[in-house]
Amino acid sequence: MIKKSLKSFLLLFVLGGLSEIAYAQQNDAEKLMQVSYGPYPRNIMDVYLPANRTDKTPFVVLIHGGAWTMSGKEAVRDFQDSLFAHGIAVASINHRYANDSDVHYLQMIQDVDRAVSYCQAHSNQWHTNAKNLVMSGASSGAHLALLYAYTTSKKIKAIVDFCGPTDLADTAVLNYSANVGLMGVIQKMTGKTYTPGKTVPQEFIASSPLYYIKNIPILIVHGTADPVVKFVLSQRLSDKLDSARIIHKLLPIPGAGHDLNLANPVTKAMIYSESEAWILKYGI
């Protein structure tokens, strides 16, 4: 008991008071797993809070890929771990899967908004800055991250997009998607059916981030040989951002497919480093 009291006294002396001790404890690293942010079973997220976080620490909302209909937050764990190791707070979220009946892009965006609102509501408890929000995602998760960032009234500081589909209203894109077996999931996401030769339903336009761009710095990472989401879609977004004079960077990964060649440690290190630098520069 005496040793414990002496230790507490010395800590109090060194840090200069009880409030400083509490502050230090509150800013320890934390990993909050399976946090429920909404009413549906898939409304869960894993929140990683780095040590020594301050009001300048970026907070990333990360969305997994899986064609809107499969996979989960564990699929982007490696990237979440890397961000956390570099002092960036990250909430990696699950969302409801798109289906043929009642869950489409608006419902998935609603889930993203619930997660963002939950993170903002708990910013005091977590000792994070609710204003330093960055959206990021891979593939269909990048699509949701882009669509949310460009349509929400909440302030989004930056975006990191890994091979996200940006234009789902282009008939060439839709015809290609049909040929490679992706039309079914696109129709689940939009909630509408596309018939070649017929007018593209409005929902295909409404769910396309390309038509909503606004002034948010964005890093776009895409493999030039991606057979799932064609590289031209990221190029098209980059061109439109150029015309609007919005800060952005298109990072092509030469010869890489939809996996961005992340199995190559050199490529992965470069992509992660570029992403972390972007977040630390623009996400504060």
Q: Are 91 and 119 in contact (CB under 8 A)?
A: yes
What pLDDT, on the 0 to 100 scale, is given for residue 26? 55
Strands 44-49 and 89-93: antiparallel
- CATH 3.40.50.1820 assigned to 30-282: yes
pLDDT band at 197 (very low <50, low <70, confident <90, very high): confident
Half-sphere exposure for 190 (CA within 13 Å, toward CB):
22
What pLDDT, on the 0 to 100 scale, is given for residue 27? 75
Q: Exposed, middle or buried: residue 180 (CB in 10 Å: 0-12, 13-18, 19+)?
A: exposed
What's the mean pLDDT when you consider all of the chain?
Answer: 91
pLDDT over 60 at 252, yes or no: yes
Nearest-Å Rg of the Cα atoms of the chain is 21
Task: Give the distance from CA 104 to its chain's centroid.
Answer: 18
Which amino acid, residue 276?
E
Question: Tokens 């230790």 sit at which residue?
Answer: 7
65-123 residue pLDDT tens? 999 999 999 999 999 999 999 999 999 999 999 999 999 999 999 999 999 999 999 99
Nearest to 49 by CA among 115, 112, 158, 126: 126
What pLDDT, on the 0 to 100 scale, is given for residue 15? 36
pLDDT band at 263 (very low <50, low <70, confident <90, very high): very high
Q: Are 98 and 214 in contact (CB under 8 A)?
A: no
Domains of the chain, residue spans: 30-282
What pLDDT, on the 0 to 100 scale, is given for residue 160? 98
C-alpha to C-alpha distance for 178 and 187, rounded to whole angstroms: 10
Return the number of other C-beta atoms located less than 10 Å from residue 1's C-beta: 5
What pLDDT, on the 0 to 100 scale, is given for residue 177? 94
12-24 residue pLDDT tens? 333 333 333 333 4
